[in-house]
Amino acid sequence: MPEPVRVAVIGSGPAGAFTAGQLLGELSPGLYARKVPPEDVRVDLFERLPTPWGLVRAGVAPDHTKIKSVTGLFEGLAQNPRFRLYGNVELGRDVTVAELRERYHAIVYAFGAPDDRTLGIPGEELDRSYAAGDFVGWYNGHPDHDHHRFDLSGRRAVIVGAGNVAFDVARILLAGPGALRGTDIADHALGALAESRVEEVTIVARRGAKEATFTPPELRELAELAGVDLVVDQAEIALAGETLSQPVPDPNSWRNLAKLQAYAAAPLRELPRRAVLRFFLSPEEVLGGADGAVRGVRFIRTGLVRDAAGQLRAVPTAERVELGADLVLRAVGYQGTAVDGVPFDGARGIVANDAGRVVDQDGPRLGEYAVGWAKRGASGVIGTNKLDAAETIDRLLEDLAAGRLLRPQSVSDQDLDAFFHAKQSEVVDHAAWLRLDDHERALGGADGRPRRKLTDVGAMVSIARGGA
């Protein structure tokens, strides 16, 4: 029997799951020119949390239940006998790159880009100025964000940034607890949102409506939120219209602009809560009050110019605009952090790679690959990671065909299992995760919810491993 090709995938978000699935021929077979029969490939998927599937659980908003159903696909691939999940095992904490290189033909880094980008302006650190990523992790029950507390006692929130994450955050703040009660939102968030006094959320974009990165469905969901008026500034939308003749490749922009023009023209319904969209405003300073907490944000009015690369850039004008706020959420994107032993491109916040092949100062690193947000940065929806995985797998299979993978020790499945259990005594394998999954679903079912999430790693591991 020839040795199987062993691949370690690090991170079980959509990118890692699509990579595992495609390597095993479970997901989108035929998407890439397969150069190795799938039956010769074994995939071990490593995940630092006791729960798999990354931001599908910890990022996607609780009311986006249809999107979350992609986990059904991933659970299906996990049934493949050539697949194993090593949950609660973190690269850099429990295992090292060197240990993996001794045991696998290839390693694929799929560990995402979990850190919030900062604004880099004064006042960012004031009380009631929060990173949107912390808020998202908190309402989604991510164990790393369990300890956060958000002061929702004020009336007005300003969100700096206008991508889909900003729209998710605005919707969660404005939805009202009744709308979230039937979701898998974390219990602590449901309780805090029930007490929230926030009634106006302003989303502020640096560029115009046409350049903003939110997608039409997110805009529609906000516009259709029960009890919420959507307020759009006519003048700022008209300003966007003036740049209509300039080429914009993304059809979403045109759809957004058309919708926004319609919303701006529609009369307000005098509903109890308001979502306000503002454009062409770049944050200059988060303003503090005498109590050391946020009282507003000062923005610089921007205009658009096309740079040498043909990209529209926001440039400052002399005009300043101040918006009052009781809390500020900074939603200007995510970036990755360096993991020990993995080449890192600090400027871009990603694993240093060339179309999926990890590179260091000497060129491509034998047998190491990157995929998903760790490879290309924090952009794109879940489906984007499918094609991205196909590109990385193509590189891996090319290298396999050319004899350019690692030459690990000859190890059996049992040897590997014994090794990782010795490194981490509380591995959560797929069967254990399903026990935790059943437990959460049963807890939720009693309240008519899809699940009630556990947020403490110790409790999760204990339930997963058969504890009471």
Ligand X SMILES: Cc1cc2nc3c(=O)[nH]c(=O)nc-3n(C[C@H](O)[C@H](O)[C@H](O)COP(=O)(O)OP(=O)(O)OC[C@H]3O[C@@H](n4cnc5c(N)ncnc54)[C@H](O)[C@@H]3O)c2cc1C
Q: Which residues bind ligand X (CB under 6 A)?
A: 10-16, 46-49, 54-55, 59-60, 64, 67, 90-92, 110-112, 136, 165, 168, 339, 372-374, 380-382, 384-385
**Least Å from the CB of residue 381 to ligand X:** 3
Q: Which helix (H) or strand (E) holds 310?
A: none
Taking the least distance from each CB to ligand X, the nearer of 137 and 283 is 137
Apex 339 CA angle, 338 and 345, nearest 5: 35
**Least Å from the CB of residue 287 to ligand X:** 26
Cβ neighbours around 23 below 10 Å, total? 30
Q: Where are the beta strands (DSSP E) in 179-255?
A: 200-204, 228-232
Judged on CB neighbours under 10 Å (0-12, 13-18, 19+), 353 is: buried
**Least Å from the CB of residue 393 to ligand X:** 14
**Least Å from the CB of residue 180 to ligand X:** 15
CB-CB contact of 286 with 124 (8 Å): yes
Strands 5-10 and 281-288: unpaired
Taking the least distance from each CB to ligand X, the nearer of 174 and 339 is 339
Look-up of token digits 């115009």: 208
Name residue 256's amino acid. Answer: N
Rounded-to-integer distance, Cα 126 and Cα 328, Å: 9
Q: Give the list of residues 6+ apart from residue 148 with CB closer than 8 angstroms, or none.
A: 130, 134, 135, 137, 138
Taking the least distance from each CB to ligand X, the nearer of 48 and 210 is 48
Rounded-to-integer distance, Cα 277 and Cα 79, Å: 45
Taking the least distance from each CB to ligand X, the nearer of 32 and 86 is 86
Apex 352 CA angle, 369 and 341, nearest 5: 75
Rounded-to-integer distance, Cα 153 and Cα 151, Å: 6
Taking the least distance from each CB to ligand X, the nearer of 182 and 241 is 182
**Least Å from the CB of residue 245 to ligand X:** 32
Taking the least distance from each CB to ligand X, the nearer of 65 and 246 is 65
Query: Tokens representing 409?
Result: 């020790």
**Least Å from the CB of residue 47 to ligand X:** 5
Q: Where are the beta strands (DSSP E) in 168-293?
A: 200-204, 228-232, 273-278, 281-288
Measured from each CB, the residue nearest to ligand X is: 13
Q: Where are the beta strands (DSSP E) in 279-337?
A: 281-288, 294-306, 312-324, 327-330, 334-335
Taking the least distance from each CB to ligand X, the nearer of 108 and 264 is 108
**Least Å from the CB of residue 49 to ligand X:** 5
Rounded-to-integer distance, Cα 101 and Cα 409, Å: 9
Taking the least distance from each CB to ligand X, the nearer of 49 and 464 is 49
**Least Å from the CB of residue 196 to ligand X:** 19
Taking the least distance from each CB to ligand X, the nearer of 384 and 424 is 384
Query: Helices then strands (H, E): number in the chain?
Result: 17, 20
Taking the least distance from each CB to ligand X, the nearer of 152 and 374 is 374
**Least Å from the CB of residue 380 to ligand X:** 5
**Least Å from the CB of residue 17 to ligand X:** 7
